[in-house]
Amino acid sequence: GTAPAGGHPFGHWLGIIGTIFMVMTELLYSIRKRTRLLNRAGPVRAWLSFHIFTGIVGPFMVLMHTGLQFRGLAGVTMMLTVLIVFSGFVGRYLYAALQRAGLQSEDSYASSVDQIAGARAAIKLFEEEWPARVREIEKIWQSKNESRPAFMAPWNQFRMRQRLNRLEGERTALNEQLNRYLQQKQRLESNLGRNATYQKLFRLWHLVHVPMGITLFVAVAIHIAATIFFRAGLFR
């Protein structure tokens, strides 16, 4: 079937209900998010879903109300409605991206920096103690060589080599741990960089989306006032 014309009563009811939905889109989610009035009325995520629903259905009903006419105020309203719906989808994407990037917070980054500092301090201490620990192993080996029969020398050397290998293993483990921390820090820096980009884009989107919404509501208010003044539509 064809879209109902703006002069049809059903078309006018589409405009009225669509406008109510659009007002709900602008007001209810903002009230839930910024005040405590609706704290007991469900989580913010559920209100965001409702915000998206009314933000899509309301403008669609208003589009049908215009009869897809491009002339005059109806045309301006229709174009603004299309732009705002598209802008809403962009905002939803940016919001979701911000939520994902925000999982890696600045607190996690600060913790990672502390871990790296701790690992580097441990490596520095280990390297400072390395000569003394090697000398201690050699001293034990020499003492055993002197106190044991000569045929035990190969065994003593094997045991010394084991201890030196374990010491080398400790050094390797410390360096691997530091590398893991450095890689984690790099990932966090990348996430924080993306988060900063999304925040800038979201602020820019907000600067565009809100004025468009205000302009649309002004146009709708003028349209309603004109309808009442000229006793058109349902006021005939």
Residue matched to tokens 């190969």: 154
Return d(Cα 161, Cα 140) in angstroms, integer. 12
User: C-alpha 204: how far from its chain's center?
Assistant: 16
pLDDT at 3: 41
H or E, element range at 38: none
Return d(Cα 227, Cα 236) in angstroms, integer. 9
pLDDT at 207: 92
pLDDT at 6: 47
H or E, element range at 73: helix 72-102
CB count, 10 Å around CB of 63? 19
Residue-range domain boundaries for the chain: 9-104+193-235, 117-192
**pLDDT digit string (tens) for the chain, length 236 residues:** 444 444 567 777 888 888 888 888 877 777 777 777 777 777 777 877 888 888 888 878 877 777 666 667 767 777 887 888 888 889 888 888 877 766 556 667 677 778 888 888 888 888 888 888 888 877 877 777 667 777 777 877 788 788 888 888 888 888 888 888 888 787 777 777 777 888 899 899 989 988 888 888 888 888 778 777 776 655 55
The 3-state DSSP composition of the chain as helix, strand, coil percent (nearest 5) reads 85, 0, 15
pLDDT at 204: 93
Radius of gyration of the chain (CA): 35
